[in-house]
Amino acid sequence: MSNAFAALQEMMSCQNREIHTNEKEVTEKEVTLHLLPGEQLLCEASTVLKYVQEDSCQHGVYGRLVCTDFKIAFLGDDESALDNDETQFKNKVIGENDITLHCVDQIYGVFDEKKKTLFGQLKKYPEKLIIHCKDLRVFQFCLRYTKEEEVKRIVSGIIHHTQAPKLLKRLFLFSYATAAQNNTVTDPKNHTVMFDTLKDWCWELERTKGNMKYKAVSVNEGYKVCERLPAYFVVPTPLPEENVQRFQGHGIPIWCWSCHNGSALLKMSALPKEQDDGILQIQKSFLDGIYKTIHRPPYEIVKTEDLSSNFLSLQEIQTAYSKFKQLFLIDNSTEFWDTDIKWFSLLESSSWLDIIRRCLKKAIEITECMEAQNMNVLLLEENASDLCCLISSLVQLMMDPHCRTRIGFQSLIQKEWVMGGHCFLDRCNHLRQNDKEEVPVFLLFLDCVWQLVHQHPPAFEFTETYLTVLSDSLYIPIFSTFFFNSPHQKDTNMGREGQDTQSKPLNLLTVWDWSVQFEPKAQTLLKNPLYVEKPKLDKGQRKGMRFKHQRQLSLPLTQSKSSPKRGFFREETDHLIKNLLGKRISKLINSSDELQDNFREFYDSWHSKSTDYHGLLLPHIEGPELKVWAQRYLRWIPEAQILGGGQVATLSKLLEMMEEVQSLQEKIDERHHSQQAPQAEAPCLLRNSARLSSLFPFALLQRHSSKPVLPTSGWKALGDEDDLAKREDEFVDLGDV
């Protein structure tokens, strides 16, 4: 135990090496700046103090602050010593003290102890620079000991290169692709389906047994019909291809996924708004024909879900997240403990968890229609590229176990988000051209997925760490996945659709090649060791088996609703057409009471049974069941850590048991002289959980503030000063919120 304690002390002293501003003279050391292919240094400043997140004490590390056309980086004088820890979960592209320009959220300056937002041309330069990042890191740099000219250059450079509007072609993505043209190597183990060929769509149709009613079409090859749609997609078989061209892909039901019982999930973008009565009549006749094709009761029943007018607005999502993220952008320990008193009220007022609940509830309602009522569901949205992507992905994640594997999940994102035309460039505001377009729809999706992963860990092949690094990858501009608004925009800017045949098309990396960011040892943390593999059935078990979810047999039979469904086309078509033309209407099908009854019966029945991890999977959506995604949101806050505990401690113990079982199995195999291939080892990064905290794998043990500083107005409610002193070493597990 003494040796272990000594090792722990050594690690902590190494991690928290400090230089006090009043105690130690600055000594500059040259630290190498690592540049990616095509990356250029723009400006730098020396003798910058990077503060440690410490309560009211100005401790930190001296070094250089640099800005390139890819990132802001701090090069600490003792960085080489800090980098010797082999257990760190290191990203090969982004260092611990690196911030990509796209990851910068807000920049603040401190003038005479007052914090102000920095933008545009400055008349006076701050003595302290604070950078809030979109991955929720907070960096604080003291410029008091830096030369005045260097302060002007570095502050002006950072503001300009992170806030000024950019042209697409000026993104670092293209500089990197050009410079690394001959060095780009794809990972042969990456089997993600990209859905950029007709063959990929045909494969997906065959996998889901949707090829009986739907067909893959190439009518948009070369983006001749619509720049918003991918080159290839799937439509109902009876639909004439010339209909796709009629309104440039608007008003066309596009296939997303087929259920085992034959029901399907479709999406449709609304027709453009018109004032002319003649054009409106033409559009009405067109939609009449479309619905006669897909809605043929009693054989084909379509339920419409209008996500533009009967669900969340993008403004609601943006407003909620803007409030929510402020809970985690903590400048110092004092601020942490000040907000800790009103944590629950601030969390509730943000409405972020409520928005997650509404998204999961909507996905369950659609799942109930497809699974229990055997109805097709058509999702409607103005461009079918925001909430359609979100809800259709969640439905498939709940209904299709293939989407819960890592390759299946990546293929799902490619199909529904990348090829589905989600405007990543605008929604992430990569070009800084329009702040009003910035909405974290994809991050909301990942948070919804995390709720499922957290509630049903054995059902997913990937871990929460995988989801966290995927969210971080939104802001790394060497991958093309999240930096275009549509496949057409990507292809035209990559030279694949251009007129210049002399130049070779650029090859961009996809985010799915994880070897670019992580070494094999670190990648083990992306794979869930507790994932329950689908059992392989012998011939006797396969005989007479159908592709059905195990739960369907135990669900109560739903009474026939043939009467309202038969009347749907006659009575509701006019309202539906008005909706597609952009006019608000009431609910299209079923009363809210009837929908609520069906949902509750379906939801309660599923949760009353044992979980089949390779069948239908529904989340709990009651208030206490939805939690804050602790790893993503709290990982940079030392005060929120649980020493030697949290999720990592549980996982570490389980892996130890797995290793013990594996060792016993190997001994048995040796006795039988078996020459089996060695089994995959448990991640060695987890072997010694005593040195870790709940911030793992993004940080090891960090020193927490010595004593919470609470506002005096709240002392009476919390107890006197002596009580607080006794509890100064206690930690609040915010991960269980």
> Is the CB of residue 641 less than 8 Å from the CB of residue 694?
yes
What percent of the chain has a predicted confidence (pLDDT) above 70? Answer: 75
pLDDT of residue 731: 38
Q: What is the four-CA torsion angle of 116, 120, 126, 129, rounded to 10 degrees?
A: 70
Q: What is the per-residue pLDDT for 119?
A: 92
Amino acid 474: pLDDT = 98
CA 395 and chain centroid, separation? 16
Same domain, yes or no: 365 and 464: yes
Q: How many CB atoms lie within 10 A of CB 639?
A: 22
Mean pLDDT of 35-49: 96
Instruction: Give dist(CA 108, CA 168) in Å, integer.
Output: 26
Q: Is the pLDDT of residue 291 over 80?
A: yes
Whether 43 has a pLDDT exceeding 80, the answer reads: yes
The Cα angle at residue 574 between residues 571 and 575, in degrees rounded to 5? 90
Distance of CA 688 to the CA centre of its chain: 29
pLDDT, position 197: 97
The boundaries of the domain holding residue 250 are: 198-314+353-494+506-526
pLDDT given for residue 13 in this prediction: 42
Say yes or no to pLDDT of 444 above 70: yes
Alpha-helical regions (H) of 477-629:
487-493, 520-523, 539-542, 562-580, 592-607
**Does any domain span residue 107?**
yes
pLDDT over 90 (residue 345) = yes
pLDDT-derived band at 6, boundaries 50, 70, 90:
very low
Tell me the per-residue pLDDT of 523-565, one tens digit each, with 9 for 90 and over: 999 999 889 888 765 554 544 444 333 323 223 333 333 333 3
Same domain, 274 and 215: yes
What is the predicted pLDDT for the residue at 696?
A: 84
Report pLDDT digits (tens) over 581-602.
Answer: 443 323 333 345 666 788 899 9
Whole-angstrom distance, CA of residue 37 vs CA of residue 415: 30
Phi first, then psi, for residue 236 (nearest 5°) are -60, 140
Query: Do residues 131 and 203 both lie within one domain?
Result: no
699 within domain boundaries? no
Q: What is the rounded CA–CA span in Å between residue 632 and residue 133?
A: 13
Structure tokens at 92: 């090969």
Q: Are residues 424 and 363 in the same domain?
A: yes
Q: Are residues 523 and 515 in contact, defined by beta-carbon separation less than 8 angstroms? A: yes
Give me Rg for the CA atoms of the chain: 28
Q: Torsions phi, psi of 379, nearest 5?
A: -90, 130
Asked if pLDDT for residue 203 goes beyond 70, the answer is yes
Count the Cβ atoms, other than its own, within 10 Å of residue 398.
21
For residue 303, the cross-strand partners are 377
Question: Domain containing 54 — which CATH number?
Answer: 2.30.29.30
Alpha helices in 635-711 (DSSP H): 647-671
Contact 457, 530 (CB under 8 A): yes
> Residue 75: beta bridge partners?
64
Taking only the tens place, the pLDDT of each residue in 400-411 is 999 999 999 999
Q: Quick one: 484 and 380 in the same domain?
A: yes
Q: How far lies 604's CA from each of 88, 534, 549, 596, in Å?
A: 43, 25, 17, 12
Let me know if residue 95 belongs to a domain: yes
- Domain check: are 302 and 399 in the same one? yes
Q: Cα separation of 29 and 26, whole Å?
A: 10
Residue 626 covered by a domain: no
Average pLDDT over the chain reads: 82
Asked if the model's pLDDT at residue 266 lies above 70, the reply is: yes
Residue 483 falls within a domain, yes or no? yes
The answer to whether 611 and 456 are in contact (CB under 8 A) is: yes
Of 299-313, 327-341, 696-710, the one with minimum mean pLDDT is 696-710
Q: Are residues 140 and 93 in the same domain?
A: yes
Distance of CA 652 to the CA centre of its chain: 25
Provide the β-strand partners of residue 71: 100
Greater confidence, 277 or 677? Answer: 277
Lowest mean per-residue pLDDT among 575-584, 595-604, 678-687:
575-584
Q: Is residue 191 part of a domain?
A: no
Cα–Cα distances in angstroms (integers) from residue 277 to residues 49, 151, 290, 327, 717, in the given order: 67, 62, 20, 51, 66
Reported as a single tens digit per residue, the pLDDT across 229-261 is 999 999 999 999 889 988 888 999 999 999 999
Confidence at residue 709, expressed as pLDDT on a 0 to 100 scale: 39
Does pLDDT of 728 surpass 70? no
Is residue 273 domain-shared with residue 210, that is, in the same domain? yes
Question: What span, in angstroms and rounded, lies between the C-alpha atoms of 340 and 337?
Answer: 5
- Band (pLDDT 50/70/90 cuts) for residue 439 is very high
User: How much is the pLDDT for 78?
Assistant: 67
- Do 226 and 147 share a domain, yes or no? no
Across the range 303-309, mean pLDDT stands at: 93
SS3 20: strand
Rounded CA separation 683/642 (Å): 21
Structural domain includes residue 238: yes
In total, the chain counts a number of residues equal to 737
User: Residue 696 domain-assigned?
Assistant: no
Torsion angle defined by CA atoms of residues 232, 237, 239 and 243, in that order, rounded to the nearest 10 degrees: 20
The pLDDT tens digits of the residues spanning 271-283 come to 888 778 888 888 8
Report yes or no: 84 and 15 within 8 Å, Cβ to Cβ. Answer: no
- DSSP assignment of 542-576 equals HTT--S--GGGGGSPPPPP-HHHHHHHHHHHHHHH
Check whether 198 has a pLDDT greater than 90: yes
Q: Give residue 449's pLDDT band: very low, low, confident or very high (50, 70, 90).
A: very high
What does the alpha-carbon distance between residue 28 and residue 277 come to, in Å, rounded to a whole number? 75
Lowest mean pLDDT across 40-54, 92-106, 142-156: 40-54
Identify which of 354, 276, 368, 278 has the alpha carbon closest to the alpha carbon of residue 320.
354
Same domain, 142 and 246: no
For residue 41, is pLDDT > 90? yes
Instruction: Assign 332 a pLDDT band (cuts: 50, 70, 90).
Output: confident
Task: Answer whether 131's CB lies under 8 Å from 79's CB.
Answer: no
Res 690: pLDDT: 54
Q: What is the pLDDT confidence band of residue 673, given thresholds at 50, 70 and 90?
A: low
Asked whether residue 205 falls in the same domain as residue 248, the answer is: yes
* Structural element, H or E, at residue 258: strand 254-258
pLDDT at 523: 94
Residue 285 burial (CB < 10 Å; 0-12/13-18/19+)?
exposed
Looking at 110, 145, 164, the residue that finishes a domain is: 164
Residue 288 has pLDDT above 70, yes or no: yes
Going from the C-alpha of 711 to that of each of 346, 666, 717, 718, the distances in angstroms are 16, 59, 11, 11
Average pLDDT over residues 658-671: 85
Q: Cα separation of 295 and 193, whole Å?
A: 31
pLDDT tens-digit readout, 610-625: 999 999 999 999 988 9
Contact 118, 158 (CB under 8 A): no
Residues 457-483 have a mean pLDDT of 97
Q: Do 247 and 99 share a structural domain?
A: no
Q: How far apart are CA 370 and CA 364, in angstroms?
A: 10
Structural domain total, the chain: 2
The CA distance from 648 to 484, in Å, is 35
